[in-house]
Structures are given as C-alpha cells and as structure tokens.
Structure 1
Amino acid sequence: MNAFTFQVPQNILFGMGCLERLPELLSKSGSRHTLIISDRGLERLGAVERIIRLCEAGGVAHTEYLDVMPNPTDRCVDAAVECYRQCGATSIVALGGGSPMDVAKAVGVLVTHGGHIMDYEGAGRVPGPIVPVVAIPTTAGTGSEVTAFSVIVDEARAYKLTVFSYELIPRYALLDPSMIMTLPPSVAASTGVDAMIHAMEAYLSRDASPFSDAMAEKALELIGGNLRAFTACRENEQAAGAMLVGAMFAGIAFAWARLGNVHAMSHPVSALFGVAHGVANAILLPTVLEYNALADTGRYARLLYLLTGRREENFRPQMLVDEIRSLLTELGLPTRLSEVGVTEEAIPHMAADAMKSGNVLANPRQSVQRDIEELYRKAM
C-alpha cells in the first residue's frame, strides 16, 4: 500500500431545509456583507432570490455577481473580483454548479492575495487561507463544494487552467436537496454522470488510497442506485438527496486521488468548443474505459457491482464498458464528439493541452500524446 494523507477541513451540512442556516454560517465566519456569485439561469429560476431573502432575514448585507457563464473565463473572474472590492464584501456565497464555485474560489484567492488567476496555476501556489466561502450546490455533479480545485478558461490561450490548493476548499458546504429538484432532465443526467465519473476515475487512479476508495465506493453506490430515478423525476426527494450526497463523496474522493484521462481530455473539448463539462466527460468515458482495461487489476468488476449490484461470474472489462454505454443512451446523452461540434483538425491541439493536465499522470494506463490523439479519434 502506498503512503497517503488526508483531511476533511470543512463543515458539511445536509438535509431538506438546511439552507436556512446560511445567515448563521456567515455570522460564524465574521461576515456581515457577502457577495453572492451565481448565474442568470439560477436568477431566472428564483434560486438567487431565495438566497437574498435568507440574507435579508438574517441581517446580512449582500451584493450579487450573476454573470458567470459555463466554462468561466479569467475575464469573468476579474469582473467578479472588482465587484467584491467595490461592494465591501467580507465573504462569498457560491451558488450553482461547478462554474460559479470555480469563480468563487478564484475570487477568494485574488481578493486575499492579489494578482491574476494565472499566477496561481498549478499546485500549491496559494500561499494561505482565502476569504470565507459558503458553497451551495444546485446540481448533483461537480462536487466542487468539497474540492481543492478551481478550473478557469484562460482566454488568451483558449486553455482551461487549474488552480489546486487545499486553501480553496470552501469553509462550509450546504447540501439541501430542494436546490436540485427543479433541474431540467438533461442537466440532471449530464451532471449526475459527471459525478459518477469523478468517483470512477478516483477509484481507478494510480493515486488512490483506502480513504479515497471509501469515498468513491459510497459515491458509486448512491449514484448507481439513483441516477436513473433522479433523471426521470427530479422531484423524487430520496433520489435527489442520494445524488447530492453521492456527488459530494465523489468530490472528496477525487480531491485526494485525482482523476484520469477522461477529465484531462474533456477540458480542451470544453475550452475550444464550449461543450458542457459533464457532456464532454460522458462522451469520452467509454473510449477511455476500453483503453484503460489493459491496466485493470480487478477494479472494473468492482465498479460494475457498485453501480448495478450485479456480480458476474465470468466478468470481462468490456461488460463495464457496455453497461456505461447503455446507461448514457438511456439518459439521452450524446455519444460522439462529432455530435457536439468537435472537429478532427483540433485533435492535435487538444491532445497537447490534455497532456499538460496532472490527471494524465494519475491515469491507470500510462499515456503519451499519440495515445491521447487516438482516443480523441475513437471518440469522434
């Protein structure tokens, strides 16, 4: 067994109605003015107004930055930083999926330590704690409420940069199932699959440990047993809660075990073609699973069991691949990169970018750029 370390340095609250504790948590953080970072879609759905009402009822002043887009850019981060400084906020409420949370973490770094987000690219470059962040997920997908990553598009390079530091983990995470029960089915499907892939890649990672394995296994059990039901009926409170907790456990798993080629390859797809992160991951997963089967040490059979409850006497890794393909088809997700506008000409550039990701190093099967290019072609 390899050496490993872990810690769980935050407070996580789960349950219907736990959102009501937001003013209390902001007060505990010593903040009387918070910047709510979210997006226009959640504003239209009334989620932002719900946070505003809670702040007002609790006597917490608030300002809103709501121009976060999917695959947020460094320019978006700079605008949010300026908003934070001008309004005099002393904390951040990150409301949304991965995009608002990525922006909130980046803003937290810059208003505390200065500079530009590119200055912190890579691992361990954030020199100390950041302003208090309360994360409220509105999808059961990214697990960003418990992770140490912020992923931002550098517009000049058309490249998704990653800031990795445990200082980025939000101080509080509020997991209220009511916040995800109005998702469109397509978003429930793609974000749920994203959470599943987090757990799968963490479980297969070369950096996996008993701690990350425990988190990944519970995540897969919860997601495998509830993804279909939640996509079919988002008002299913039990399925919504299970998906939210499963996504959280998956986030903790990959925060400590990293990911693999699926995520390394999906980031360039999103940066260059604007494809939603969960959709890009879903398309790439079966191809990467087939490629990684050569390195399987028995974990593919365990993955199939965790996701389906089935034990196959004459198991072959292709059985897991086939199960995943069937699931993606049932959920109505795209299955080829060509369906979402990716072009063959971009493959060399995407592969070069993918090779810059530390996730390639954690992938169970060693890969060079030629391998990544071939995987993209197969996924076309």
Structure 2
Amino acid sequence: MKGFSEFRMPKAVFYGNHALSKLGEQAALLGKKALLISDRIMEKIGNLEKCQNYLEEAGVSYANYNEVNTEPTDVHVAEALTIFQKQQCDLIVAIGGGSCLDVAKAVAVVSTNGGYIGDYMGGKKPIKENPIPFITIPTTAGTGSEVTSVTVIANTKEDIKMMIKHPAFIPTVAIVDPILTYSAPPSVTAATGVDALCHALEAYISRVSQPLTDHLALSAIEMIMTHLRTAYINGADSEAREKMALASMQAGLAFTNASVTLVHGMSRPIGALFHVPHGISNAMLLPPILEFTKESAVERLAAIGRILRPDLKALQNKEIANVVVNEIKKLCNDLNIPNMKTYGIDQDQFDQVVEKMAADAIASGSPGNNPRIPSHEEIVELYHVCYDYDFTVSEPEVSAK
C-alpha cells in the first residue's frame, strides 16, 4: 500500500431488525424539531407514520416533506429547504430509497452553507460550516447512501446528474432496519441489489481502493451474489433481506472511501437524460463494462471468483475472471434487467445525445478510476454496445480441472 488511506463513516450506525426503534432516542439527542423527508410511497405503506410516532414518543416535533420521487432533483432540494427554514427545524430525518436520503444530505449542507446545491459540485463553493444533524433510514438494499459522503442530485436546467462528494454529506446517524426493505417489490429489489453490487465491485477494482474497503467490498459481493436472487424471488425471506441490507451498507462504506468507476460514470448521464432510475441504469451497464475492463482487472476479478467459486481455485486467473463476468451476466439475466432498448429508450434520441453522455461521463471523474481508462470514443462505442446488449450467457460453463 502506498502512503496512507482515509476512512470515514457516520458517528453511529444501528443495524438489525427493529433498529428503527432507536429513531426517537437518537433524534432527541440531536435536535428538537425534525424535517421528515420521504416520498408518497413511504406515507402510503405506513413508514412515515412509524417515524412520526417514534419522534412524538421522544418529544421531538416535526414537519413533513414527502414529494421526493424516483430521482432526486435540485427542485426537491429547494422545496425541502424552504420548509426546513420556515418551520425552524434543527434536525433532518430521511426515510426511503436513496433519492430521499440524497435530498436530505443536500438540505443538511445547504441549510448551513447557503447557495444552490449545484454550487458545491466540483468544490466550486467550499463547505465551511458543519451540516445540520441528520439521520438516514434506508428502505431499499442498494444505494448505501445511509453511510456515504456522496449526494447525487439532478440539475433540471442542464439535464445532468451532479455527483457531489464531501465528508459533510456523511449522515450523523444511520439506521439500517432490514424489515423496512420487505416492502420493496421485485423490480426495485433487483435494481437496487445490482446497484449495491456495482458499488462493491467498483470499489474493489478501483485504482484508489484500500485494504479496509477491499474487505468490505469482498464481503458485500459474496453476500449479494448469494442472496439477491432469493430476495428477488421471495421478498419475505428474512435471511436474504438481512444479508442484502448488510451488504448494501458495506458496499456503501467501501465505495465512499474508495470510489466508483466506469459503470457509475456512464450511468449518471442515462439517468439525467432519459430519467432511468439509478439502480436500473447501473445494472444495464455492469456486464458489458466488466467485459471491457476485465483484461485490466484479471487479478482482482479472479480473487472475487475464488471466493464465489472455491472449486475453481486451481484455474488460471484469466479463466476465473471470465467465470466472474459470466456469473454476473447470469445474475442480471435472472433478475430480468433490461437493456436500454427494451427499457424503451428511443434509438434516434439516444444517438443524438450519446456524444454528450460520453463527455458528461468523463467529466464526472469516475471513469478515471477504472482499471482500464477509456477514451471518449471508447465510451461512445460502449454506450452503443450497451444499448441492445444481450444478457444471456452463451459461453460454456467452466468447471474445475
């Protein structure tokens, strides 16, 4: 290892079934009035009410903002910030998918540092003041946003996804209760699960990985590859839900302290321009980008393979790396992950913006951490490969010799 590494995480993490019961106690330690950020689904299935009850029991008053939808935008941030200020809140609680959590992060920082959330992209506006204390409660096993230093917010005027990274975006407290993920439908379970797999895989093969993130990433990869299919098929399977919630959190800790790579770099423009949910856009890209990258990541992919398939330990690294890529391709196929064409993205519209997508991907910085750093032209070509990519596996199964 060259030099030293830095590792950051929330001040407190509560993980396990019924961890939500800690909300009132923790909120009371941090403030007197909370802004509850969520969405209409959280209200409909009763999760918002559960949070309200825990806050009331602890003597913490609250205001609500539940207008977040599938992708967080600067509009959501501005609306939530207005309520936060008008209601004179001193604490934020976010419950929901990564979109709700990312909006909470943005509000927490902007509320004390001022300006527009986009001002902070690329460090243009420095974050000088500590954020408002905030608690994150994920209801999907995927984004890992409950423990990361990243918020991803869509700029609605320029049609770009702003990935903003700073320690100030790390939540004060994370509450990870696997029971809350039971309500996620199969399609959401699949998309968020592959999103978590991307986080772990990218953190592990990243040029800026470190020993601690490697351990978290490998653990997350093994759990996801073992339990995601079960969670997708049977959302009531308690072991699968618990393992996926833990894996998602571990993957979040891994990538926020290492980095993501080419998958996320190419994924964000798809979400920004075609409004594809983040987990799905990542899943669309993962197998073809691994195929593009594998020659430059043979040893790391082989290390993953020896964990997933101990029976193949005697094979050469290149053979095991091929198995890993095929196993991930099979997983995406089993989870009915669509390519861009079957998702419904119009080819003419896609062709018109593919150059912009490639430029935006490179501008994000993530592709520069990939083991094989692509050129603009290679990213354009990759987008075309991904557009109608076939997730079925045609290569013969490799077995131990």
Give the alignment's TM-score, normalised by structure 2.
0.91
Counterpart contact for 1:262–1:288, Cα < 8 Å = yes
Counterpart contact for 1:108–1:133, Cα < 8 Å = yes
Per-residue deviation, 1:91: 0.5
Within the alignment, does 1:40 sit opposite 2:66 as a pair? no
Per-residue deviation, 1:128: 3.2
The one-letter code of the counterpart of 1:90 is D
Measured in 2, the distance between the counterparts of 1:167 and 1:308 equals 39
Counterpart contact for 2:38–2:68, Cα < 8 Å = yes
Paired residue for 1:338?
341
Counterpart contact for 1:19–1:174, Cα < 8 Å = yes
Measured in 1, the distance between the counterparts of 2:212 and 2:274 equals 36
**Could you tell which deviates more after superposition, 305-314 or 46-55?**
305-314
Per-residue deviation, 1:147: 0.3
Counterpart contact for 2:10–2:171, Cα < 8 Å = no
Per-residue deviation, 1:340: 2.1
Deviation per CA, 1:62-110: give whole Å up to 9, x if none.
1110001222111111011001011111100111111011100000011
Measured in 2, the distance between the counterparts of 1:9 and 1:47 equals 22
Measured in 2, the distance between the counterparts of 1:144 and 1:231 equals 21
Paired residue for 2:327?
323
SS in 2 for 1:324: helix
Counterpart contact for 1:224–1:308, Cα < 8 Å = no
Measured in 1, the distance between the counterparts of 2:351 and 2:250 equals 36
Per-residue deviation, 1:207: 0.4
- Uncovered stretches (5+) of structure 1, i.e. residues with no partner: none
Closer, same or farther in 2 for the Cα pair 1:52/1:9, shift >3 Å?
closer
Paired residue for 1:8?
9
Within the alignment, does 1:163 sit opposite 2:164 as a pair? yes
**Could you tell which deviates more after superposition, 177-186 or 197-206?**
177-186
SS in 1 for 2:77: helix
Closer, same or farther in 2 for the Cα pair 1:135/1:162, shift >3 Å?
same
Paired residue for 2:252?
251
**Could you tell which deviates more after superposition, 298-307 or 361-370?**
298-307
SS in 2 for 1:102: helix
Measured in 2, the distance between the counterparts of 1:350 and 1:55 equals 43
Paired residue for 1:378?
385
Per-residue deviation, 1:317: 2.9
SS in 1 for 2:244: helix
Measured in 2, the distance between the counterparts of 1:348 and 1:70 equals 25
SS in 1 for 2:72: coil
Deviation per CA, 1:3-25: give whole Å up to 9, x if none.
22223342101111111111110
The one-letter code of the counterpart of 2:337 is L
**Could you tell which deviates more after superposition, 77-86 or 2-11?**
2-11
Paired residue for 1:176?
177
Per-residue deviation, 1:316: 4.6
Deviation per CA, 1:206-229: give whole Å up to 9, x if none.
000101101101111221221111
The one-letter code of the counterpart of 1:228 is R
Paired residue for 1:94?
94
**Could you tell which deviates more after superposition, 71-80 or 262-271?**
71-80
Root mean square deviation of aligned Cα: 1.4
SS in 2 for 1:161: strand
Per-residue deviation, 1:303: 2.0
The one-letter code of the counterpart of 2:322 is Q
Per-residue deviation, 1:297: 4.0
Per-residue deviation, 1:164: 0.8
Measured in 2, the distance between the counterparts of 1:308 and 1:76 equals 44
Within 5 Å, which residues of 2 pair with 1:227-266?
A: 227-266=228-267
SS in 1 for 2:142: coil
Within the alignment, does 1:55 sit opposite 2:55 as a pair? yes
Within the alignment, does 1:357 sit opposite 2:364 as a pair? yes
SS in 1 for 2:64: strand
SS in 2 for 1:373: helix
Per-residue deviation, 1:308: 5.1
Within 5 Å, which residues of 2 pair with 1:216-295?
A: 216-295=217-296
SS in 2 for 1:355: helix
Closer, same or farther in 2 for the Cα pair 1:72/1:310, shift >3 Å?
farther
The one-letter code of the counterpart of 2:36 is I
